Amino acid sequence: MGKTVKKFETEVQQLLDLVIHSLYSNKEIFLRELISNASDAIDKIRFESHSNMELLEGNADWKIKLHADKEAGTLTIVDNGIGMSMDEVADNIGTIAKSGTRNFVAALKEQNATDNPELIGQFGVGFYASFMVADKVTLKTRKAGGKEYGCCWESTGDGSYTIEECEKEFRGTEITLHLKDDMKEFLEEWKIRSIVKKYSDYVQYPVVMDVTRSEPVKDQDGKVIEGGGTIENTAEETLNSMKAIWARPKSEITEEEYEEFYKHISHDYDKPLSTIHYSAEGVSEFKSIVYIPSHKPFDLFLRDHKKGVHLYVKRVYITDNCEALLPDYLRFVKGVVDSSDLPLNVSREILQEDVQIKRIQKNLVGKILSTLAEMKEKNPDDYLTFWAEFGPVIKEGIHFDYANKEKLQDLIIFESSKTDKGKFVSFKEYVERMPESQKEIYYITGVNRESVENSPYMEVFKKKDYEVLYLTDPVDEWVVQALHEYKEKHLKAIDRGDLELESEEEKKEKEAQKEEAQKEYGTLLSFIQETLKEKVKEVRLSSRLTESACCLVADEMGLNANMEKILKAMNQEVPEGKRILELNPDHPIMQVMTSMYEKDKGNAKLGDYCELLFDQALLTEGSPIKDPLRFTKLVSELMVTGGK
């Protein structure tokens, strides 16, 4: 059969133009695609040979060979896979997905070529990535078990191609890329090595290349001859490791191998805190090795932080930043996921949002959370190490991952009024040691343990010996917005709304005392309310203070001081709002102010006392006062008059 010149169909040429100019963001991808195709071809011949050994033709030394010819400006990729017949070349290479091309091109146009087109495996366009770097591509192939002649295909990507029979002694495929002038860097040994190492290191067949090295001349005993000069030796070197340890049984892998692999993919020189080697079978099949690091990376909270899980498909590298594999709150996890049937988009650079990847994520997240739960129970010291580094990030999951909310809330731990500094309690432990009379889980938010521990809001809880959780991470404010209860126990902020801490009998006694106090201080409360009407929503007697004179309390659903600080630190607009000023009816200041009010309702100093009370409440919660100079002046005057 002589050489035949054929033209691409119009839609096929449009597709080819898109592949060359728009589809791939990284030109070095072409070599990954060709090596992957070669690996697939070897897979096929190995499978077919089980039923027909003659197909092997005595050649089962599987390898993918690369040859760079700088003089000719060509890069050649050779495999001893199953090869193709003339008809298969015409169907698979010459027409590019002949059955679906028109629809495929339409989909590409609708989605601007790179958003979310159909699958590369369905259309076989990976081969055409070659034209990003080559101005001519020659393919020479012979089908396993076929006749002596093979098939030659050639195209410059300009709308046509030639196809003809040709002599080819060995089974398999040979693709020669005639590189463009500005793409000659792909002939350099270092460049080829780096691409293979990055994308094809774990392909299960050797990727080899002839490498020439200058070596000193040696005698017959192997000793270097002084002054003997050098000689150039060419030897075949394997460029990929083929050591995909995630594909090996756990029993065959040592701790040293796990650690070495962790350091390789994470660039972290410390040991990981935990290693998870996990394989899923059934509807969703994948293999993975993921690691919990022993310390957080410096960029963990930066917006452009990349997640640490690498994605492979059949041991071929796809990306080191697959955002769909893990939720954001597990972004610290490092490792590898390798799927044999995960659908990819046509460029293999952006994963399709389909049910398969969601299944992988569900499985992987479940395994990571169960591992953390086991660590918390069986290795509490390791868990404390983990929590110190990644606790705030795990808490983010409470707000965003509703499906795993119950698992996550059992992982969260806090310091509390019943723990020493640096010790923690879980929700489960808190509930187990609640006194029978306690109905709610109490917590307080703040900037650190010292500030919340000495807060006036804590006074009544210390008196009743009720445990209060200390929520001192900024993210805690969002955690409690999403987590309203645990085991049917409502979470209650001690600096918001009303408190109901008494039994029925205590409540009756307290109400009677409150009525008496209201009668005694009612007019004074009204005066303070009027004086501070621009600053507070309400002035009332407190049931939470036992020692301090006053405090500011938010409404049940209002912003407390800590939340306001966080929003301001984030340059967020804080809505205008007033809080409630609570006064301790048992504090001596109430008697003093009542006496002053009864003697002289127009006493200016009484107004100063009201301002001082408000500023004092701000200071005790850690908020700034509006006029520090006036505050210090009034305090100084009180000190002078108090000494007379």
Residues in CB range of 585: below 8 A, 6 or more apart: 513, 514, 517, 520, 521, 541, 542
Distance (Å, rounded) from C-alpha 42 to C-alpha 63? 8
Q: Which residue has the higher pLDDT, 116 or 126?
A: 126
Output the furthest CA–CA distance in the chain (Å, rounded).
121
Does residue 214 have a pLDDT over 80?
no
Distance (Å, rounded) from C-alpha 466 to C-alpha 289?
A: 44
Residue 571, token pair as written in the block: 């340059």
pLDDT (tens digit per residue) in 376-425: 999 999 999 999 999 999 999 998 899 999 999 999 999 999 999 999 99
Residue with tokens 């100019």: 21
* pLDDT level of residue 217 (50, 70, 90 thresholds): confident
Q: What percent of the chain has pLDDT over 70?
A: 88
Residue 528: phi and psi, rounded to 5, are -65, -40
In this structure, are residues 124 and 96 in contact, taking their beta carbons and an 8 Å threshold? yes
What is the reported pLDDT for 336? 93
Work out the end-to-end distance of the chain between its first and last CA atoms, rounded to an integer number of angstroms.
Answer: 121
Band the pLDDT of 368: cuts 50, 70, 90: very high
What does the DSSP 8-state code read for residue 89? H
Beta bridge partners of 337: 288, 311
| Residue whose C-alpha is closest to residue 424's, from 449, 404, 447, 402 | 449
Lowest mean pLDDT among 110-114, 226-230, 284-288, 586-590: 110-114
Q: How far apart are CA 611 and CA 377, in angstroms?
A: 52
Q: How much is the pLDDT for 376?
A: 96
Decide if pLDDT at 186 tops 90.
yes
Whether the pLDDT of residue 566 is over 50: the answer is yes
What pLDDT score was predicted for residue 500? Answer: 80
Domains of the chain: 4-238 (3.30.565.10), 245-386 (3.30.230.80), 412-493 (3.40.50.11260), 504-642 (1.20.120.790)
- Report the C-alpha gap between 419 and 121 in whole angstroms: 58
Q: For residue 81, what are the contacts with CB-CB under 8 A and spacing of at least 6? A: 38, 40, 41, 42, 43, 44, 45, 171, 172, 173
Q: Mean of the pLDDT values across residues 559-575? A: 77
- Give me the pLDDT at residue 587, please: 93
Query: Which has more confidence, 65 or 637?
Result: 65
Query: What residue spans of 201-292 are helical by DSSP H?
Result: 255-266
With contact defined as beta carbons under 8 Å apart, do 134 and 57 qualify?
A: no
pLDDT tens readout for residues 233-268: 888 999 998 888 999 999 999 999 999 899 888 888
Token output for 585: 């009816």
pLDDT confidence tier of residue 124, bands split at 50, 70 and 90: low
Q: Which residue has the tokens 């070529």?
A: 113
- Round to whole Å and give the CA distance between 142 and 172: 6
Pairing of strands 308-313, 413-416: unpaired
Whether the predicted pLDDT of 100 surpasses 60: no
What's the confidence (pLDDT) of residue 229? 73
pLDDT for the residue numbered 570: 75
Please write the tens of the pLDDT for every residue from 431-443. 999 998 888 999 9
Alpha-carbon distance 568 to 450, whole Å? 22
Cβ within 8 Å of residue 30, ≥6 positions away: 24, 129, 130, 132, 133, 177
Tokens coding 429? 């432990």
* Interval 291-317 mean pLDDT: 80
The residue type found at 482 is A
Find, among 399, 409, 396, 393, the residue nearest to 292 by Cα. Answer: 393
What does the pLDDT average to over 470-481? 89
Note the pLDDT of residue 134. Answer: 94
Give the list of residues 6+ apart from residue 418 with CB closer than 8 angstroms, or none.
Answer: 425, 433, 467
Average pLDDT, the chain: 85
3-state secondary structure of 556: coil
Q: Is pLDDT at 101 greater than 50 in this prediction?
A: no
Question: Do residues 140 and 152 lie in contact, with contact meaning Cβ atoms separated by under 8 Å?
Answer: yes
Report which residue type is found at 403. Answer: A
Residues in the chain, overall count? 644
**CA-based Rg of the chain, rounded to a whole angstrom?**
37
